Amino acid sequence: MMPLQSDKQPSIFLLFPFTILIFTLFLVSAVAQSGGKPHPWMNPSLSPDERASMVVKEMTLDEKVSLLHGTGMVGLSPMSPLAVHSNGGAGYVPAIPRLDIPAIQMSDAAYGVRSSGENGRYSTALPADVAGAASWDLDAGYEYGALIGRELRAQGYNMSLGGGINLTREPRNGRTFEYLGEDPVLAGKMVGSVMKGLQAQHVLGDIKHYALNDQESGRNAVNINIDKRAARESDLLAFEIGLQESDAAAVMCSYNRLNGDYACENKYLLTDLLKKDWKFKGFVLSDWGGTHSAEKASAAGLDHEQPGWIFYGDDFKKGVESGKIPVAELDDHVHRILRAMFATGVIDDPLQKSVVDVVGGLEVAQKIAEQSTVLLKNDHVQLPLDTSKIHSIAVIGPHADVGMISGGGSAQVDPPGGNAIMPPGKGQTRWLEKIWFPTSPLKSIRAKAPAANVQFDSGADPSAAAALAKAADVAIVFAYQWESEGMDLESLSLPEHQDELIAKVAAANPHTIVVIESGGPVTMPWVDQVSAVLEAWYAGSRGAEAVANVIFGDVNPSAKLPLTFPKSEADLPHPTVVQPPSESIPNYRLPDVWKQIAAGLTAFQVTYNEGVKVGYKWYDAEKKPVLFPFGYGLSYTTYSYSNLKVTTGKTPRVTFTVTNTGSRAGAEVAEVYASLPAAAAEPPKRLVGWSKVKLNAGESKAVTVDVDAKYLSIFNVEQNGWQLIPGDYAFMVGGSSQSLPLKESVNLK
Ligand code: BGC
């Protein structure tokens, strides 16, 4: 018979009295230590810096070092016995009860709390991060973060490991869904909002992966070569803006090397830029297994190692004792961690597990999914569907009867009940396995069109699907492309012969609507044959309901692409994703693979010679036509733009009018781009601001966008600063990067 309890895990009933004893001892010792009075740093009217400094003064060397590392993770480091007190998340830093410093319980939480099912809990899956960016709605970003923050706390976590912001420089990157698109201003502002929402819940936020970890292939070994100006104006600018906007508690340094040094021991990245230039007050933690030294990393500015203590435990302590690591450096690391804990309220507002608000979570997830679904094509007003005129609908596509796909890897949120395509009870989530959320397109369409005959075909046999489509008034094909951490896509084509399926269905029915579930751009060889296309991304727990609301017109789409859909991979800056040689790949079959990773794998080179030309800046500069441009998205109404005025000053101000010229209410993302004087030698244009404007039918609104001078500047490497090149600047305004009806040039000095 199977034992009910493993012999390693004492029964919870046995643990209960033990827990009470420990808690009582903790209270007695805390009060005894402080002479019966609360510690002076527990006074919330003091500044986080003052409070952190007071604690640092009281700490022993061992206590300080204990804050510098995690307690291990199977496969990535040895395990500490203290790990039993972890809440089951990716990282755990034990408490220091003597000083009233609580544990840090870290969980991945890119689009919801990770591994919730595994921990016997429930969490909401929001639409993927890239979808959040497609809303171009900073309030939605705040709600996104706040929801994650609430659910983290309910589940017993006080630190999030979300906040992915690597620019989509390589759209085949398997983590594109976890990031916020290809533009540094959009991504930076969005992550800033997400962090504000999250940290308002008293959760430590983190922005990652710093920096230029823009491909998964060979991520532990790759050396990214890029010139400083291009890096500052692209990927690093996204971090700069995100941190400026949000005061995030932490930054996670990435696995890769950058211009020679590992990101987690790269002095330029961690100290010169992050801590000195940007005045970042939080702490830097390494990606899991991304630490490669104690002395060098510490001097470079790495504050904390995860998941274990290969370097930041005994080695670090010895380094301090021998004087190789200055005490001031150690104290700075500790101060930063404590300061972040005081500043975000994780010390004043201790964790208490509670019940996740499932209904509230689903409402937020659906609302954001509705705001992030992009209408890419709508010929002959195919959408919204009018149920009074439609009597039969063919719903086609892999698993469209039961679920919608989600993004994999450490971002994976567990679906309730397990993977929707597996038999009940067998649906646990596994690394590098496609997970479908139980949000059924078929059911949600049936619910919207109860009088219509709605039939399903999986598309496994394209001819059978085409026959079903032929007999229906409209065909809706749900197509997917799955992405995950730990892999890159071979191409941007839909897998599993879905291109062939869509082409066949479209040939059989002229009213074919395609709904794409993807984490980034896909190619669409069939696009001219279908009448409508929606990009639903990985749409989260309530994806199907949101998509149905858009299809049937209960929601007027308002999202815009946060990244370009190219016509083909041949148009990308790099023909293929550079693959690592075998010596640069960790051997995960080795029981102590962590030793191999920690020691450092043989570097291989990837050179970003497209430089600052990321996404639309590349296609613009290279004059490559695209399938759907950055910033593009249709609505069921139409908008016009007029009255552009640009006033110059320290902060140029752009004002214009947007009018809803159609017959229904909507929200328009009004985008402002600038082109710099020729002397700046920049791509043709860059996004410098936007505003999402709600308009009733026929309504006009005046819009004002103040443009941060930095967004108009170039990075001058010699002067090590942002520089506005004097000359003529053209400001262009409109509804997509390729539809900018208003233009005015002004001279800026
Ligand atoms: C990922 C991080 C993640 C960490 C902890 C790493 O492999 O790159 O994004 O936060 O694991 O799960």
User: Ligand 1 centroid vs 651 CA: distance in angstroms?
Assistant: 39
What does the block give as tokens for 531? 């009448």
Question: Are the beta carbons of 376 and 535 closer than 8 angstroms?
Answer: yes
* Predicted pLDDT at 81: 97
Nearest CA residue ID for atom 7, ligand 1: 288
User: Where along the chain do the CATH 2.60.40.10 domains lie?
Assistant: 637-748
User: Ligand 1 centroid vs 330 CA: distance in angstroms?
Assistant: 25
The DSSP line for 478-528 is: EEE---BTT-B-S-SS-STTHHHHHHHHHHH-SSEEEEEE-SS----TTGG
Which of ligand 1's atoms lies nearest the C-alpha of 486? 7
* Predicted pLDDT at 489: 98
User: Ligand 1 centroid vs 564 CA: distance in angstroms?
Assistant: 26
User: Ligand 1 centroid vs 288 CA: distance in angstroms?
Assistant: 6
Hey, what CATH topology would domain 59-88+250-343 get? TIM Barrel (3.20.20)
* Predicted pLDDT at 35: 58
User: Where along the chain do the CATH 3.40.50.1700 domains lie?
Assistant: 373-570
For a pocket test of ligand 1, which of 410, 412, 488 has the largest count of ligand atoms closer than 8 A to its C-beta? 410
Which of ligand 1's atoms lies nearest the C-alpha of 161? 10
User: Where along the chain do the CATH 3.20.20.300 domains lie?
Assistant: 59-88+250-343
CATH of 373-570, one of 3.40.50.10380, 3.40.50.300, 1.10.10.60, 3.40.50.1700: 3.40.50.1700
* Predicted pLDDT at 119: 75
Nearest CA residue ID for atom 3, ligand 1: 410
Which of ligand 1's atoms lies nearest the C-alpha of 254? 8
**Cβ count within 10 A of residue 591:** 9
For a pocket test of ligand 1, which of 161, 264, 484, 594 has the largest count of ligand atoms closer than 8 A to its C-beta? 161
Contacts of 529 (CB under 8 A, 6+ apart): 502, 503, 506, 507, 512
Residues within 6 Å of ligand 1 by CB? 90, 108, 161, 208, 287-288, 410
User: Ligand 1 centroid vs 514 CA: distance in angstroms?
Assistant: 33
Query: In terms of DSSP H, where are the helices of 574-706?
Result: 593-599, 616-621
Architecture of domain 637-748: Sandwich (2.60)
Measured between alpha carbons, how far apart are the two ends of the chain, in Å?
A: 81
User: Ligand 1 centroid vs 205 CA: distance in angstroms?
Assistant: 14
Question: Are the beta carbons of 562 and 274 closer than 8 angstroms?
Answer: no
Nearest CA residue ID for atom 4, ligand 1: 288
Question: pLDDT under 50 in the chain at which residues?
Answer: 1-34
Q: What is the rounded (10 degree) CA torsion for 542, 547, 553, 559?
A: 100
Nearest alpha-carbon partner for 439 in 555, 545, 548? 545
User: Ligand 1 centroid vs 715 CA: distance in angstroms?
Assistant: 31
Strand partners, 517: 480
Helix%, strand%, coil% for the chain, nearest 5: 30, 20, 45
User: Ligand 1 centroid vs 590 CA: distance in angstroms?
Assistant: 20
What does the block give as tokens for 403? 């679920």
CA 305/CA 295 separation, integer angstroms: 12
* Predicted pLDDT at 118: 74
User: Ligand 1 centroid vs 88 CA: distance in angstroms?
Assistant: 14
Q: What is the DSSP letter of 614?
A: -
